[in-house]
Amino acid sequence: MQATKPSETKVVLTGIKPTNHPHIGNYIGAIRPGIELVSQAEHSLLFIADYHALTTVQDPKELREYTLSVAATWIACGLDPERTVIYRQSDVPEIFELAWILSCVTPKGLLNRSHAYKAKVQENQTAEKEDLDFGISMGLFSYPVLMAADILLFNTDIVPVGEDQVQHVEVARDIAQKFNRVFGDVLKLPNHFLKAESVVPGLDGRKMSKSYGNHIPLFLESKKMRKMIMKIITDSTPPEAPKEPKGSVLYTLYKEFSSINQANELANLYREGVGWGEVKQMLFERIEEYFKGPALTYNDLISHPEKIDAILKDGGMRARDLAEPTMKKVRAAVRG
Ligand code: TRP
């Protein structure tokens, strides 16, 4: 399977699992490039994979909170709901109908080889559990089938993904081929587009991730954001000593939110010698400035969840309309 550029294709589809409040690492790594990709596409769909998140998020309040937060963040950061169909997975029942049909042509062995499932089995092996399927739900096991349904229902050409999701798109392709062999040529085979992954450092210099607790949330209130930036770990080089910008967490983050000139100015300050406190203040101001507009939109949406619900509901209806022709063909092919 070769990667194709989204701009050369028709339907680009992206799914996001609502398992946390998006942070700055998500913004740089997924949201900003994702918005660019979908805005270049002729047709684009972006959905909140809330039922996928059920494998781990089983508190309804939390699920709703993350769903709203993810949707509001993407819209606040520039996703245009007129151009891109944005919807909740659970608002499109056809996805789950298709998932069942697909599961009936999916060899179980294909799922046994899925990375996520294998990693869980491995964990149990390491913990010397007698039952190697300990703690593994059917949802986790059949996750790739649901993901195949997400993708195939919309005649998707391209799925932009990070490295960890490539296998899932390949599985979707395998399942589509299997379906077409059994029931006739109905489903379009998708391709993945591998996004360049930039590793964003967190407060402690490791990859920014909620699971490390080193993440900087987006849209923090000003005082809290400043406090957070001040927490970024630096070394004990004295202020006047020349410093190397490359590899510095502060510089790496600053660069993401500034023009080439601004980044060069900071690099020069490093080489002349500058105190970490001063650099942190600069980074804080840069981030405040960069997210000023998006923060207004985000806060407005989050304090009026009915606005987000309305956008998602409208997107859900559009998604169902788009899904109907494929679903009709699938039903006809299967039921005779
Ligand atoms: N599995 C993806 C993740 O964990 C989320 C997802 C669900 C998805 N369905 C999708 C991504 C369909 C792309 C296409 O990040």
**pLDDT the model gives residue 8:** 52
Integer-rounded Cα radius of gyration of the chain: 22
Q: For ligand 1, say whether the CB of 148 is within 6 Å of any of its atoms.
A: no
Given pLDDT bands bounded at 50, 70 and 90, which one contains residue 198? Answer: confident
Fold adopted by 220-290: Tyrosyl-Transfer RNA Synthetase (1.10.240)
Percentage with pLDDT > 90 across the chain: 94
Given pLDDT bands bounded at 50, 70 and 90, which one contains residue 196? Answer: confident
Q: At a CB cut-off of 8 Å and minimum separation 6, what does 191 contact?
A: 1, 2, 3, 4, 157, 158, 159, 169, 173
Q: For ligand 1, say whether the CB of 101 is within 6 Å of any of its atoms.
A: no
Q: Are strands 84-88 and 11-16 parallel, antiparallel or unpaired?
A: unpaired
Write the pLDDT tens digit of every residue in 78-98. Answer: 999 999 999 999 999 999 999
Given pLDDT bands bounded at 50, 70 and 90, which one contains residue 147? Answer: very high
Chain region(s) in the chain for CATH 3.40.50.620: 6-200+305-335
**pLDDT the model gives residue 9:** 56
- pTM comes to 0.94
**pLDDT the model gives residue 4:** 57
Write the pLDDT tens digit of every residue in 158-179. Answer: 999 999 999 999 999 999 999 9
Look-up of token digits 């804080």: 284
**pLDDT the model gives residue 231:** 97
Rounded distance from Cα 88 to ligand 1 centre (Å): 13
Nearest CA to ligand 1 atom 12: 15
Rounded average pLDDT over 314-330 = 98
Rounded average pLDDT over 169-196 = 96
Q: For ligand 1, say whether the CB of 147 is within 6 Å of any of its atoms.
A: yes
**pLDDT the model gives residue 7:** 52
Q: What amino acid positions are annotated as catalytic residues?
A: 120, 207, 210
Fold adopted by 6-200+305-335: Rossmann fold (3.40.50)
Write the pLDDT tens digit of every residue in 13-62. Answer: 999 999 999 999 999 999 999 999 999 999 999 999 999 999 999 999 99
The answer to whether 11 and 45 are in contact (CB under 8 A) is yes
**pLDDT the model gives residue 159:** 96
Given pLDDT bands bounded at 50, 70 and 90, which one contains residue 10? Answer: confident
Q: What angle, 0 to 180 degrees and rounded to 10, lies between the N-to-C axes of helices 93-103 and 166-183? A: 70
**pLDDT the model gives residue 93:** 98
The answer to whether 208 and 215 are in contact (CB under 8 A) is yes
